């Protein structure tokens, strides 16, 4: 019985050590979520104004449909996608959910859209390990910054995607580019989403503005047309698009990285909290088993003492 007590005490110490680690990781993930949310808030104004400028330039540019990044008349033979996974574990199903969505995207592009080749570009060691284990082709891979992305990393990734897109299809270029990432909704909910970033779709739509009319405030013509933004493009709207559209790709990649980083921290915090709770329950179970073993040992010792006393008494009485 004493051996059982030692086994249970050793298990209790081991689980307590694991609990300390998971509790520390839970606290670290909680602090990093706040930092990731702050980065998202800081990047939001730039992204919003960038999209507004691109919309204005596209609506004023003649022949914008002929721009390399907006051209729809492509062969649709090859597509690439960027999937964002984690570099480290203890994040629950965060990485596998993104990989599962990427596999679904691949089947859709091949079976429904008729693409002949779909090539993944992977961020994170979990995704790299998944594709390498299955000996699947990877366009490029990046690791080491999934939980703390930087703008320079997003620019490097965007450049690789743009270079592949601008190549002719016959020379290995891509006809479409998608991003598979995890969207951070809140601390509890994170959703895996797929977004096509290239070619950029230019949509002509009529804006319904209930307040204001074209012209000055003194204009009483009664026109129902809305105000239009006053942009002046130098040297031309097409030249501005040449500069803005690559920035749009960088911004799309950077936003996906930030959202995925926040989602990874939230998933790791939830997983570590669950592990900590399970460790507490396991410690309670081992403590109860150790107490039972101790009680059994005490009972056995008492029985042995009583039996020895009875044997001695019987021997004395017989003599």
pLDDT digit string, tens, across residues 150-206: 889 999 999 999 999 888 878 888 888 999 999 998 888 899 999 998 887 655 544
Which residue's entry shows tokens 């620019």? 155
pLDDT tens string 74-129: 667 889 999 999 998 888 889 999 999 999 999 999 998 888 889 999 999 999 99
pLDDT tens string 259-301: 999 999 999 998 898 889 999 999 988 888 888 888 887 887 7
Question: Where do runs of H (alpha helix) occur along the chain?
Answer: 2-60, 94-107, 125-133, 151-166, 237-318
Buried residues in 141-161 as b, exposed as e (16+ CB within 10 A) = ebeebbbbbeeebbbebbebb
Angle, alpha carbons 116-121-122 (nearest 5°): 135
Token pair of 58 as six digits: 């596209």
pLDDT tens string 45-64: 888 888 777 777 766 655 55
Side by side, which strands form the sheet with 78-84?
A: 141-142, 117-123, 78-84, 176-184, 190-198
Residue 198, CA distances (Å) to 75, 88, 264, 307 in order: 14, 30, 26, 87
CB-count exposure of residue 131 (10 Å: 0-12, 13-18, 19+) = middle
How many whole angstroms separate alpha carbon 208 and alpha carbon 158? Answer: 34
Question: Is residue 89 helix, strand or coil?
Answer: coil
Helix (H) or strand (E) holding 195: strand 190-198
Q: Are 118 and 107 in contact (CB under 8 A)?
A: no
Number of other CB atoms surrounding residue 136 within 10 Å: 12
Token pair of 166 as six digits: 């601008």
The percent of residues above 70 in pLDDT, for the chain, comes to 81
Number of other CB atoms surrounding residue 317 within 10 Å: 7
Phi-psi region of 99 (alpha: psi -120 to 50; beta: other; left: phi over 0): alpha
- pLDDT grade for 220, boundaries at 50, 70 and 90: very low
Give the residue among 292, 245, 308, 249 at the shortest CA–CA distance from 57: 245
Task: Find out whether the peptide bond into 246 is cis, omega within 30 degrees of 0.
Answer: no
pTM above the 0.85 mark? no
Which residue's entry shows tokens 């911004």? 251
Q: Where in the chain is the domain with CATH 3.40.1380.10?
A: 26-200+230-268
DSSP for 122-133, please give it.
EESHHHHHHHHH
Specify the pLDDT at position 264.
92
Instruction: Identify the architecture of domain 26-200+230-268 in CATH.
Output: 3-Layer(aba) Sandwich (3.40)
How many whole angstroms separate alpha carbon 75 and alpha carbon 61? Answer: 25
How many whole angstroms separate alpha carbon 289 and alpha carbon 4? Answer: 9
Rounded to 5 degrees, what are φ and ψ at 26?
A: -60, -45
């Amino acid at each position: 019985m004493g051996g059982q007590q030692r086994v249970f005490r050793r298990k209790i110490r081991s689980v307590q050590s694991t609990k300390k680690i998971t509790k520390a990781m839970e606290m670290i993930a909680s602090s990093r979520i706040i930092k990731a949310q702050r980065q998202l808030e800081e990047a939001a104004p730039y992204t919003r104004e960038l999209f507004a400028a691109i919309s204005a330039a596209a609506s004023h540019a003649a022949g914008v449909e002929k721009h390399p990044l907006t051209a729809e008349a492509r062969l649709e033979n090859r597509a690439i996608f960027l999937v964002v996974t984690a570099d480290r574990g203890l994040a629950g199903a965060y990485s596998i959910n993104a990989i599962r969505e990427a596999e679904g995207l691949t089947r859709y592009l091949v079976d429904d859209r008729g693409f002949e080749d779909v090539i993944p570009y992977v961020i994170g060691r979990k995704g790299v390990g998944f594709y390498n284990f299955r000996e699947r082709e990877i366009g490029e891979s990046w690791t080491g910054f999934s939980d703390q992305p930087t703008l320079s990393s997003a620019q490097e990734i965007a450049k690789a995607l743009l270079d592949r897109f601008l190549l002719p299809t016959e020379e290995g270029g891509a006809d479409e580019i998608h991003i598979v990432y995890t969207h951070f909704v809140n601390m509890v909910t994170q959703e895996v989403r797929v977004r096509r970033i290239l070619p950029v779709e230019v949509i002509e739509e009529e804006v319904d503005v209930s307040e204001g009319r074209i012209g000055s405030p003194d204009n009483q013509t009664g026109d129902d047309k809305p105000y239009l933004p006053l942009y002046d493009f130098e040297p031309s709207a097409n030249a501005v698009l040449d500069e803005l559209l690559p920035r749009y790709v960088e911004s799309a990649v950077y936003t996906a990285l930030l959202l995925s980083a926040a989602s990874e921290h939230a998933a790791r915090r939830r997983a570590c909290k669950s592990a900590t709770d399970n460790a507490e329950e396991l410690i309670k179970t081992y403590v109860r088993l150790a107490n039972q073993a101790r009680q059994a040992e005490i009972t056995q010792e008492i029985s042995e003492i009583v039996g020895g006393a009875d044997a001695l008494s019987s021997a004395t009485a017989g003599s």
